[in-house]
Structure 1
Amino acid sequence: MTDAAMHEDSAHRWQAIGALLFGACVIGFSGILMRLTGTGPAAAGFWRLAFALPLLAVMTRRASGPLGRPTPIALLAGLLFALDLGFWHYGLKYTSVGASTVLSNLAPVVVTAFAWIFLKQRPRALFLIAMGVAVGGAWMMGAGRGAGTPVLNAPLGNLLSIATAFWYALYFLALAQGRKTQAASRLMFWSGVVGAPLLLAAALLMGERILPATAAGLAACAGLGLVHVAGQGSIAWAMGRLPTSLASVVVLVQPVVATYAGFLLFGEALGPLQTAGAAVALGGVVLAQWAARPRPQAAA
């Protein structure tokens, strides 16, 4: 590879990392907007996708022509994303924005564990230690409670948020697979077409409030749609240009943004145990990804 080609490849890599950082920061505000919609948790997820779909349709047609038909991986991604949003939004209902976002971002550990169990990619011993650290941090997040943090049922909310990490990890893997053959906007459009009715059905079954009661709530629903297109769209775009393991680490900026925003808007200050737990959990996730990095090939 020539120096010019190497420089171009490095520039594309940093562009993708920049897109990931931007997307993660934007998505960090989705929990705040969900709280402001005034609807039920699953209903907020429905509005997020419903407002995003027209924008995604326009983007897809301009970028790559007709919408075409959904592929199996797009349908699977839609199902997984609906489960991800449903579990996460209910976690947000019962616990703090910061705790829910940190716990749901244990997904990188799940991604690597999935590769070990199903793809027979055995991790190093250091990964197992890192997983223990991440789980220990998650327990600290669940056991502690910040002063002045209004929560309905922290243990239930934390459990739902941890379950979210499982669905988010599978969605991440499906997204990475889909980006090998599809444009980001088309993949997101068809996954939204699948996810929106599933979330609406869940909201109706749970007896949730579907329509926002105020203009501010409607604006928050529209904001969720914009956040989805800008944030998740940037992440999906970058997924076609970066390894999945690296991408899953970079998006860990999301809980930092969410925790800070929750503190500013809702007074959700983390207590000492939760603060330490957040650092330990995220540190364990980062260490797990470092331990799971590809081994260098022996020189010929």
Structure 2
Amino acid sequence: MKSGVFFVAAAAVAWGMGGVVASVLYRISGMGPLAVSFWRAGFGVLVLVLVQLVRRRPVGPRALFPRGWVMIVIGLGLAVYQSAYYLSIAQAGVAVGTVATLGACPILVAIGARLFLGEPLTGRAVLAVGVAIAGLVMIVGGPGEVGPHPVLGIFWALVSAAGYAVVTLLTRRYADRIGSDDVGKTLASFVVATLCLLPLAAAEGLLPASNATVAFGWLVFLGIVPTAMAYTLFFNGLKTVPATTAAMLVLIEPVSALAVAVAVLGERLGLPAVAGTVMLLAAVAAMSVPVRRGSRAAVAAGAAGFDRAAPEPAVAGASEASGDPASAR
């Protein structure tokens, strides 16, 4: 499980880095978030196809979709939770949309993992989720400016969180059916996501209005690091990391975005953001430490049904607080 925790945490760090890059892209290119997400997914697909060809792995439909419906639904989930997040922040404001989306993710995953995977919902998990959400609120600066339709924005935030929960739970539940090739899983899911995002991005405007060369350079970076690399690590980590723990680990994303914004963009870190970062990291650390003795036996018993089926094993932070969506995930 230790390597799985590292993989999921590394994916969250990459997503946070990508969020800062995406916020820069919005400013220099005039592209909207849906267009950035489309090109990021599209370049990710190209990178993953090249990786598979170098590995001499097949990239046809039969190879990518050995159990077609599972990877198709996972790909749809990827497209839904990213697009719905943008709708959320447009309707409810960046801070409200961010807190509602990222705060709902671990809650929905924890409930879904209990109902569908048999993972225990412990008091430690409930406490950790609560502390993490409080820390997230402090990082993004509280309620902030409310958008024109906050109720509708919160609805889209819940849709986004549900899409993320579907991706996480299906990947855990059907690990044996979708195979052990994590690069292939990532490629298949993003082929579906790219096709879903194309009409939305086309309606928004596909091409950069300025600084096209620089913009496409950053889009290639987004395709390589927060997409091809990060999701391959994420799918790998989900082989051994319980879904609820993975959802908590992903909350490292806003901390990563905050660190990059401070180090690279020169943004200042206020006391509430520092306190929120400490709270969030403490909650993540609490969920990453294995349970001991009797609790360990209970966890093993609760997860046994899934483990037999799978022997192999939201920009938050500074950029979101300044008005930029977390499109890195």
Under a length normalisation based on structure 1, what TM-score does the superposition of the two structures give?
Answer: 0.73
The 3-state SS of whatever aligns with 1:233 is helix
Change (3 A) 1:25 1:281: closer
| Partner AA of 2:238 in structure 1 | M
Q: Which moved more, 1:172-181 or 1:187-196?
A: 172-181
Asked if structure 2 preserves the Cα contact closer than 8 Å seen for 1:106 and 1:285, the reply is no
Give CA deviations for 1:180-209 in whole Å, capped at 9, x if unaligned. 3322122212211211122222234xx523
Provide the rounded CA distance (Å) in 2 between the counterparts of 1:154 and 1:176: 37
Deviation at 1:17, TM superposition (A): 4.3
Give the fraction of aligned pairs with identical amino acids, expressed as a percent: 23
Aligned residue pairs total 278
User: Which residue of 2 is the match for residue 47 of structure 1?
Assistant: 39
Q: What residue in structure 2 maps to residue 191 of structure 1?
A: 189
**What is the Cα deviation at residue 165 of structure 1?**
3.9
Within the candidate set 15, 23, 40, 2:11 is matched to: 23
1:218 aligns with 2:210: no
Unaligned segments of structure 2, at least 5 residues: 299-329
Counterpart of 1:36?
24
Aligned equivalent of 2:58, options 65, 68, 83: 65
User: RMSD between aligned alpha carbons?
Assistant: 3.9
Partner of 1:112: 110
Task: Give the letter aligned to residue 239 of structure 1.
Answer: L
CA offsets, 1:16-35, max 9 Å, x none?
Answer: 44444443332221112222
Q: Indicate which of 73, 78, 82 corresponds to 2:79.
A: 82
SS at match of 2:206: coil
CA distance in 2, matches of 1:266, 1:121: 41
Task: Provide Cα deviations, 1:221-267, integer angstroms capped at 9, x if missing partner.
Answer: 11111121122222223333444444444444332221111223444
The correspondence of residues 269-288 of structure 1 with structure 2, limited to 5 A, is 269-284=268-283, 287=286
C-alpha distance in 2 between matches for 1:281 and 1:192: 29
Q: For 1:262-300, what per-residue CA distance to the aligned partner results, in whole angstroms no more than 9, with x for missing partners? A: 2234444343334433443454455467699993338xx
Unaligned runs of 5+ in 1: 1-12
Classify the secondary structure of the residue corresponding to 2:198: helix
Change (3 A) 1:21 1:273: closer
Tell me if 1:169 matches 2:162: no
Tell me if structure 2 keeps the 8 A contact 1:29–1:257: yes
Q: Take 1:145 and 1:274, find their aligned partners in 2: how far apart are those partners?
A: 14
Aligned equivalents of 1:18 and 1:137: distance in 2? 22
Question: Within 1, Cα distance between the matches of 2:70 and 2:217?
Answer: 32
Alpha-carbon distance in 1 for matches of 2:118, 2:173? 18
Q: Assess, with a 3 A threshold, how the Cα gap between structure 1 residues 258 and 284 changes in structure 2: closer, same or farther.
A: same
**1:239 matched residue in structure 2:** 238
CA distance in 2, matches of 1:275, 1:117: 35
Q: 1:164 to 1:282 in 2, by over 3 A?
A: farther
Aligned to 1:179: 175
Is the contact between residue 104 and residue 162 of structure 1 (CA under 8 Å) also seen in structure 2? Answer: no
Equivalent-residue separation in structure 1 for 2:70 and 2:58 (angstroms): 20
The alpha-carbon distance between structure 1 residues 262 and 234, as it changes in their structure 2 partners (threshold 3 A), is: same
SS, match of residue 295 in structure 1: helix
CA deviations over 1:84-116 (Å, ceiling 9, x no partner): 2224456678537xx949963763343212223
> What amino acid does structure 1 have at the position aligned with 2:20?
I
Look up the equivalent residue of 1:23 and give its one-letter code: A
